[in-house]
């Protein structure tokens, strides 16, 4: 009986482990929602509901209808669409060449009033020469382009009327995630009637395009390669 009981206990233990392993695999296969960066999170709009009035008058403050007001973003929590039109190009070339030759000659005509040739049979002469040469050349050519649209929210109305905006767009693909994050300051007069503004009119703008996942990891240099390519590596 003790042998059968021990076998049943072992089988039960193995089945429990198998169940836990399958559960972990299922959990690992689930796609988790990426965490939002709080620096680009939206802000809840202010409560614009008018206070309860009991004056008995026909006109109540806060209940007016603004028939001729546009629908562009102007309050905290309003949504604004930004068209990304970023294109930069930088070219730099440098060439430096230096050369320096130095020659010096010294001759000892006499030693203690006696001609050196009489003492040594030849003139005493010393010659010193040095030559330095350096040649350096460098080229840099970099260009970037980013197009698309992103909708952001107004997080603050500045005292001068400008709007501080920020937002984030997250796209989850089969093998990774793509993030577009933007923050900056816009002028209400630059917003067109469709509630759209170009990114080249956003002041103090921060635009981040980040990728995470297998595709992004494959395009990154490993930590050992980064050490070997760093300027601190002596060879």
Tokens linked to 15: 């089945």
What is the pLDDT of the chain when averaged over all its residues? 75
DSSP one-letter code for 44: P
What is d(CA 88, CA 92) in angstroms, rounded to the nearest whole number? 14
The whole-number pLDDT of residue 162 equals: 94
The whole-number pLDDT of residue 8 equals: 46
Q: Which residues contact 108 (CB under 8 A, 6 or more apart)?
A: 116, 123, 124, 125
CB 177 within 8 A of CB 217: no
Residue 28 pLDDT > 70: no
Tens digits of per-residue pLDDT, 77-121? 899 999 998 888 888 888 878 888 887 776 666 655 566 566 666
75-109 exposure pattern, b = at least 16 Cβ within 10 A, e = fewer: ebebebbbebeeeeeeeeeeeeeeeeeeeeeeeee
């Amino acid at each position: 009986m003790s042998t059968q009981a021990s076998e049943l206990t072992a089988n039960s233990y193995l089945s429990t482990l198998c169940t836990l392993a399958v559960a972990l695999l299922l959990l690992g296969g689930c796609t988790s929602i990426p965490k939002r960066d709080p620096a680009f999170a939206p802000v809840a709009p202010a409560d614009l509901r008018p206070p309860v009035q009991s004056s008995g008058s026909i006109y109540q403050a806060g209940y007016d209808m603004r028939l001729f007001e546009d629908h562009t973003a102007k309050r905290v929590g309003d949504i604004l669409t930004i068209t990304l039109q970023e294109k930069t190009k930088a070219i730099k070339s440098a060439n430096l060449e230096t050369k320096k030759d130095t020659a010096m000659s010294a001759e000892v005509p006499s030693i203690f009033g006696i001609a050196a040739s009489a003492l040594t049979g030849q003139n005493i002469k010393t010659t010193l020469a040095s030559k330095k040469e350096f040649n350096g050349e460098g080229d840099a050519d970099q260009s970037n382009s980013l197009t698309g649209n992103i909708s952001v929210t107004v997080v603050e109305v500045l005292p001068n009327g400008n709007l501080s905006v920020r937002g984030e767009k997250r796209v989850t693909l089969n093998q990774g995630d793509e993030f577009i994050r933007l923050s900056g300051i816009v002028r209400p007069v630059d917003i067109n009637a469709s509630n759209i503004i170009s990114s080249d009119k956003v002041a103090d703008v921060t635009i981040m395009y980040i990728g995470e996942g297998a595709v992004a990891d494959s395009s990154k240099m490993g930590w050992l390669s980064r050490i070997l390519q760093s300027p601190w590596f002596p060879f």
